[in-house]
Structure 1
Amino acid sequence: MRLLGLLGVAAQAEGLRLRRNMGSVTRRAGWMAGAALFGVVGIGFAHVAALAWLEPRYGLAGAAGIVALGDVALAGILALASRRRRDPVAEEALALRRTMLAAAAARNPMRDAAALALGSAPAPVLGAIAGEAIATWLRRR
């Protein structure tokens, strides 16, 4: 593969990886926004209702403690729903990008240009050209 081809594939792989990661970040942000909305509105009303229901049996302090334990459990569930998930396509795109960039870094553009200009076996042809140039230079001296 030529240098520009390697860099092109690396850029496409990076684009795919970034698009996939943006989808993941967007989903996580949506879950967190839903958790925040529920936390602000729903919990407020639930607290009032729960305190009013539990207060005759357990007193105000006991009812508040029970409601607080429910809040902690709900927060744990929402935190688990928002955790990062493994995306095998994004991981494969990252591996492909790294491979293409490593291959591009290992390429020699001068050798590639000589191979393109002189055919598939540049070393013997370049040796003959270099030998002819040296012989001409030595004849002039």
Structure 2
Amino acid sequence: MRMIQLLRLAAQAEALRWKRTGRGYAMQAGLGAAAAVFALLLLVMLHVAALIWLQEDRTPLSAALIVAAVDLVLAAILGFLAARHAHDPVAIEAQRVRDDALRQVGDTTARAAMVLPLLRSQSMKKGLVGAALTAAVVGLMARR
């Protein structure tokens, strides 16, 4: 019964981890899309206004270079915000719970594999050797 509860707990923790990780990626993609839309639409209006304003005192070429420098700064700031990836503490904890539950399932399985040959064996010596070999194999499989 405990093994089933541990497996259920591991499955729930894994589902929560995937849900939270997916939510983080969706937020990151949304921020990137918003940054792109903002960069395209707002900068078009800023270009027009800045070029008109800057051409009063400067040549059209120098006005265009100033606007391009401002575009570069805005794109760098928005790109940095979109590329930033913070780890979700709930997803990390869910992964730890899943790993602990699966480790306990492996330990329980190893113990059961060690005891079962003893119960089935006619001779105690033969049962102990079989139990030791089975426990070693299950232990190696559980660590992978």
Q: Give the TM-score, by structure 1 length.
A: 0.72
The 5 A counterparts of 1:53-64 are 53-64=53-64
Structure exhibiting the larger radius of gyration computed from Cα positions: 1
Report the residue type matching 1:96 in the other structure: V
| Structure 1 partner of 2:104 | 103
Cα distance between partner residues in 2 of 1:17 and 1:76:
31
Say yes or no: does 1:33 pair with 2:33.
yes
| Structure 2 partner of 1:120 | none
| Structure 2 partner of 1:139 | none
| 2:10–2:99 CA contact under 8 A, matched in 1 | yes
| Structure 2 partner of 1:137 | none
Q: How many residues are paired up? A: 121
Cα distance between partner residues in 1 of 2:57 and 2:106:
73
Report the residue type matching 1:44 in the other structure: V
| Structure 2 partner of 1:73 | 73
| Structure 1 partner of 2:11 | 11
Higher RCO, 1 vs 2 (CA within 8 Å, ≥6 residues apart)? 1
Change (3 A) 1:110 1:99: closer
Report the residue type matching 2:58 in the other structure: Y
Shift in Å at residue 109 of structure 1? 6.8
Report the residue type matching 1:23 in the other structure: R
Cα distance between partner residues in 2 of 1:26 and 1:65:
36
- Structure 1 unpaired stretches of 5+: 116-122, 135-141
Shift in Å at residue 76 of structure 1? 2.0
